[in-house]
Amino acid sequence: MGEQQEKNTYRLQGLTCANCAQKFEKNTKDIAGVSDARINFGASKLTVYGQASIEELEKAGAFDSIKVYPEKQRMEELKKGSFLKRNVFLFLSLLFLIGGWMIGEGLISVLFYSVSMLIGGYRLFLTGLKNLFRLQFDMKTLMTVAIIGAAAIGEWGEGATVVILFAISEALESYSMNKARQSIRSLMDIAPREAVIRRGSNEIKVDVDEIEIGDIMLVKPGQKIAMDGLIIKGESSVNQSAITGESIPVAKAIDDEVFAGTLNEEGYLEVKVTKQVEDTAIAKIIHLVEEAQAERAPSQAFVDKFAKYYTPAIMIIALLIAILPPLVIGGDWSEWIYRGLTVLVVGCPCALVISTPIAIVTAIGNAAKNGVLIKGGVYLEEAGAIDAIAFDKTGTLTKGTPVVTDIISLNGDEESVLLQIAAALERNSGHPLAASIVRKAEELSLDINSLVIAEFHSLTGKGVKGRIGETEYFVGSPSLVKEILGEKIDEEVASFQSQGKTVMVLFTKSHVLALFAVADEIRETSQSVIKKLQNMGVHKTIMLTGDNHQTANAIAKRIGISDVEAELLPEDKLRRVKALRETYKGVAMVGDGVNDAPALAASTVGIAMGGAGTDTALETADIALMADDLHKLPFTIRLSRKTLRIIKENISFSLGIKLLALLLIIPGWLTLWMAIFADMGATLLVTLNSLRLLRIKE
């Protein structure tokens, strides 16, 4: 496929059957001008490579009355038609069936049953017969053969009943998939489609598609924010629950970032737009969640492979039951053909086919509404099997904004002078600890820009160095002092480290000048989250940090983390995660998605925090906690485990009820209508069981 290949994405209405999705995809690929097509069943979307009109696409989906809409079309247009209107033929068919029952025996009742079968099953018959001639065996082929066979042996009433019950089963399947997809559709309706923009001296209301980067958006109290941007005027509380799942509004002021779809609760805001509508946080979330629904979970792959052989096997079993007893033991042909037809009906794999995708779609949608982005069914399943979790310290277990708590002068110079030198060096570093020294200097109004730094170098994982005048200065860890000066300063730093503080040292090539004690505040939720995880059966929690051992151990002790690995460089973290994977079945790495990218990639499941504000977190992680907070982690694992359990229940129940029904057919205890009723009941129970995932909250 060439890079310049035209690509268009469409939303679909009426796509409720996994087998139908595969057929629609194949039909679309057969359209002249189309080189490839991909169906996303979970999100009900079609991606077409090449050229095809909507009329051609709808013709390709005419077998199941699939409607096609451009991807950006508003969702209201996809919700047309009530349940009654969409199933009018089902209700008409039911009326004729009831009429046939009331009339009883005779030609008139057969006529009523025939009309009922034709009205309720004409689309089923057309598809089933085409499939039969093409030797394509799916559930509609099974149903068609069973219904026509029932009519052929004079069981008109049962044939008509099977048509009705199968149609009801499909309607329930349609309703349940739409319900599961509703979580994502509700996300799509969160952000307003219009916003008030100031251009020059004019205030105009424009569609979000027409808003450009740099436009000034005006947001009144009580209004939703339509685009991502930075506040340039005003302050307010903004409810970000739609993006991050946080129930408590967040205080916002000038230079703070705001997201499309969030609610401005109190003040008047002027926001400078920083992203186009397709690049906003909510747009990325929707896109990634819909792509996640297309990713097949391992259990889904098993079901698909099983179903491929299951349906032809059922047809062979039905044929053998229909012909062997009459030929071998002289059984009645009509009776055994009826039992063979019942096997076809009972073998319909509706419940099995829907068992996994509906659970995956429901769980991923529920997670997104609660501020957790899971990027595929495989990660959803793997998160449920986690038994070891590695945490980055800074910005994950702690707030990531360390502050200078103590300045100790060791050579008699004024603390402010030493702080000025250290801050002048550190202003060129991007490390959070360096930023704390710069902030401290700014708080004391020290002029750090007046000092000219020459020959600046960053010493990865250790500190920085630079020349001021004739003197070369270093700011870094105590281990850097030992490396450069060959002397230890353990006694001076031990008391600070025992308090959970990190010590940074200012020194020259001849002597140590000052110590700066820096503390990174522990998140309020860290301790309770670790306790919840341990109560859930996570066997090992480990902190991976570049900080020193004493500081790391002090913080780990306060939080309740079982193991600590300190003074690690990024490549060391990567090695530790790989080592954990050799010992434990499922290993998660939790970090900010920036410095921890290699370790996140090496883990079974990489979990990034603060996904709403950082593109890196969304790109590198398998799961992103949209709020910059850990309290979503136990919820995610609990949801994953519940999903795994429900998928296993669904598959076991679907296959179990088939086996039981097959055993009841042989002695003749199961009728055609009872068989389809059992299948419909299985589909309904699998659906309701999966929708229980919507009830899982924090």
Catalytic positions, please? 392
Please name every residue paired with 11 in a beta bridge, in sequence order, or none if there are none: 45, 69
Cα–Cα distance, 650 to 655 (Å, whole number): 9
Closest CA to 139 of 27, 20, 40: 20
Angle value at C-alpha 177, between 172 and 178, nearest 5 degrees: 95
Q: Cα separation of 452 and 248, whole Å?
A: 45
Which of 179, 383, 188, 379 is closest to 295 using CA atoms? 379
Beta strands 250-252 and 202-207 are unpaired
> How big is the CA angle at 670 (ends 667 and 671), to the nearest 5 degrees?
125
- Residues 501, 511: Cα–Cα separation, whole Å: 23
> CA-to-CA distance for 86 and 83, rounded, in angstroms?
5
Q: Which residues of 176-193 are buried (b: 16+ CB within 10 A; e: fewer)?
A: bbbbbbebbbebbebbbe
Give the residues across from 206 on adjacent strands: 195
Q: What is the 3-state secondary structure (H, E, C) of 506-521?
A: EEECCCEEEEEEEECC
Alpha helices in 390-510 (DSSP H): 415-426, 432-443, 478-485, 490-498
CA distance 615 to 292: 17
Given the DSSP bridges, would you call strands 216-219 and 269-273 parallel, antiparallel or unpaired? antiparallel
3-state DSSP helix/strand/coil % of the chain, to nearest 5: 55, 20, 30
Q: Which two tokens stand for residue 552?
A: 């790391």
Length of the chain: 698
Where residue 450 falls (left for φ over 0; alpha for ψ -120 to 50; beta otherwise) is alpha
Output the DSSP codes for 170-190: HHHHHHHHHHHHHHHHHHHTT
Task: Read off the tokens for 378.
Answer: 């495989």
Query: Are 162 and 676 spatial neighbours (Cβ–Cβ below 8 Å)?
Result: yes
Residue type, 310: Y
What are the structure tokens assigned to 134, written together?
């093409």
Where helices occur in 549-628 by DSSP H, the ranges are: 549-559, 570-583, 597-602, 615-620
Neighbours of 69 (CB within 10 A): 15
Instruction: List 471's β-bridge partners, or say none.
Output: 468
How far apart CA 584 and CA 225 sit, in angstroms, is 44
Instruction: Give the chain's end-to-end CA distance (angstroms, integer).
Output: 44
Q: How many CB atoms lie within 10 A of CB 275?
A: 18
Between CA 324 and CA 321 the distance in angstroms is: 6
State the angle between helix axes of 549-559 and 490-498 in degrees (0 to 180), rounded to the nearest 10: 10
